Amino acid sequence: MPRFHGQSNHAPVDIVNQLQKQYVDYLSSLFHEGVLDDQFTQLQKLQDESNPDFTVEVATLFFVDSDKLINNMAAALERSPVDFKQVDADVHQLKGSSSSIGAMRVKNLCITFRSFCETQNYEGCLICLQQVKNECAVLKDKLQNLFRMEQQIVGAGGSVPLMD
């Protein structure tokens, strides 16, 4: 920022505005694509000066939890005979936590996954497992982008816009 000679850490207003606009566009696309739902906005509303990293913390917990659950499911599906009840219990848990953070696509995949567990459909379970794995990876990537953009805005002296 060659024009910026001020004493504060604020970037010129137009830079902050630009970053904010990019952020809003990106977040909107996540809602539009169904990656996130309104619950994510609810999470963001719980963030404030006293808990500035709440959303990041919850998201981090989610990824640790989902990794563990996905590994459990994979292991259970590799055993013989397959314990579908155990797989279902893990999917149920993943469904709950994805719902809690607003990860809509992951949640919907879990719903399908559970029906395959109930009918003890091995192939269906394997396909769902792969899809859930992929979707969690995509979500992680996108949320990391989002949080990075938030950091850039804050670093430039601006505030993160809240979707409504």
Partner 1 sequence: MDVGSAGSSSHDDPVLPLLPCRSSRGRRRRTLVRKFLLSDLSHFSPFPQMSSAAESQFHVLAVDDSLIDRKLIERLLKISSYQVTTVDSGSKALEFLGSRVNDDRSSSDSLPSVSPSDHQGVEVNLIITDYCMPGMTGYDLLKKIKESSSLRDIPVVIMSSENVPSRITRCLEEGAEEFILKPVRLADVNKLRPHMMRTKKLKGQEQEQELQEESVTHCEVRSQPPRQHELEIEQSQQDQSQQIQQHQQQKSGNNNKRKALDVEEGLSPDRTRSRYNGVATF
Binding residue for partner 1, selected from 12, 24, 54, 154, defined by CB under 8 A: 54
Nearer to partner 1 among residue 43 and residue 153 (C-beta):
43
Q: Confirm if 126 and 114 have CB atoms less than 8 A apart.
A: no
Verify binding: residue 130, partner 1, rule CB under 8 A.
no
Binding residue for partner 1, selected from 44, 72, 86, 99, defined by CB under 8 A: 99
Indicate the length of the chain as a whole number.
164
Verify binding: residue 57, partner 1, rule CB under 8 A.
yes
Verify binding: residue 96, partner 1, rule CB under 8 A.
yes
CA distances from 36 to 67, 74, 116 (A): 19, 25, 24
CB of 1 to partner 1, least distance (A): 36
Binding residue for partner 1, selected from 23, 97, 113, 117, defined by CB under 8 A: 97
Q: Confirm if 115 and 92 have CB atoms less than 8 A apart.
A: no
Helix (H, G, I), strand (E, B) or coil at 51: strand
Nearer to partner 1 among residue 92 and residue 122 (C-beta):
92
Verify binding: residue 132, partner 1, rule CB under 8 A.
no
Verify binding: residue 65, partner 1, rule CB under 8 A.
yes
Reference 149, options 163, 161, 138, 137; nearest CA is 161
Name residues whose C-beta falls within 8 Å of residue 155's C-beta, 6 or more positions apart in sequence.
9
Q: Which stretch binds partner 1 (CB under 8 A): 6-14, 100-108, 123-131, 132-140?
A: 100-108
CB of 140 to partner 1, least distance (A): 15
Report, in angstroms and rounded to the nearest whole number, the Rg of the chain calculated over CA atoms. Answer: 19
Find the angle CA(68)-CA(74)-CA(79) to the nearest 5 degrees. Answer: 125
Residues engaged in binding partner 1 (CB under 8 A): 39, 42-43, 45-46, 48, 51, 54, 57-58, 61-62, 65, 92-93, 95-97, 99-102
